[in-house]
């Protein structure tokens, strides 16, 4: 729905691409926050719980920055995780406790890989300097998350 609203608002292709990045980034952050909350509740692994708490905090902060930017630029954004992310969260919720942590770490690692590529593309190709700066500032945190998730996943294998 946010994408359709933005298509109507923006005639300029560069502005439309930046708006699409914001929509995708907001959706990804809602999804990661949901996955982090699930791990805080379901995991019995201390390291997974600590990573989940860090992810929830950092992605909530980034989400708020993205929503503030979107508001200033009149970009419509999602108000919750997309349906496929909700389905994924529900599927993980049903995992056996013994498999949950490994699957969760692997899935979040994959998600971070995609987000990092998306943010790097915005930094390289975006048209709005403020948005490029926001994306650039978020990259080190996302890369740090990726490294922590990979290390945790390797321990759980």
d(CA 36, CA 30): 10
Task: Note whether residue 3 is domain-resident.
Answer: no
Task: Note whether residue 70 is domain-resident.
Answer: yes
Task: Note whether residue 137 is domain-resident.
Answer: yes
Could you tell me the maximum CA-CA distance found in the chain, to the nearest angstrom?
Answer: 51
What sign for the dihedral angle of Cα 106, 109, 113, 118? positive
What are the pLDDT digits (tens) for 59-105?
999 999 999 999 999 999 999 999 999 999 999 999 998 799 999 99
Which CATH number does the domain housing residue 126 bear?
Answer: 1.20.1260.10
d(CA 85, CA 24): 12
Q: State pTM to two decimals.
A: 0.90
Q: What is the mean pLDDT of residues 4-13?
A: 59
Domain that holds residue 41: 11-156
What are the pLDDT digits (tens) for 119-144?
999 999 999 999 999 999 999 999 99
Task: Note whether residue 77 is domain-resident.
Answer: yes
d(CA 157, CA 141): 24
Task: Note whether residue 2 is domain-resident.
Answer: no
Task: Note whether residue 110 is domain-resident.
Answer: yes
Task: Note whether residue 122 is domain-resident.
Answer: yes
DSSP calls for 88-108:
HHHHHHTS-HHHHHHHHHHHH
Task: Note whether residue 123 is domain-resident.
Answer: yes
Q: Work out how many domains the chain is built from and give that number.
A: 1
Alpha-carbon torsion angle 58, 88, 117, 148, nearest 10: 50
């Amino acid at each position: 729905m946010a994408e359709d609203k933005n298509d109507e608002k923006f005639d300029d292709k560069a502005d439309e691409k930046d708006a699409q990045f914001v929509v995708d980034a907001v959706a990804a952050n809602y999804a990661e926050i949901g996955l982090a909350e699930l791990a805080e509740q379901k995991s019995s692994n201390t390291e997974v719980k600590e990573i989940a708490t860090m992810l929830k905090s950092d992605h909530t902060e980034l989400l708020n920055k993205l929503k503030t930017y979107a508001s200033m630029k009149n970009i419509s954004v999602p108000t919750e995780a997309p349906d496929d992310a909700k389905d994924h969260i529900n599927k993980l919720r049903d995992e056996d406790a013994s498999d949950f942590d490994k699957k969760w770490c692997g899935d979040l690692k994959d998600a971070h890989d995609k987000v990092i590529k998306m943010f790097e593309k915005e930094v390289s190709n975006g048209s709005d300097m403020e948005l490029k700066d926001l994306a650039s500032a978020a990259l080190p945190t996302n890369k740090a998350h990726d490294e922590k998730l990979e290390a945790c996943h390797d321990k759980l294998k």
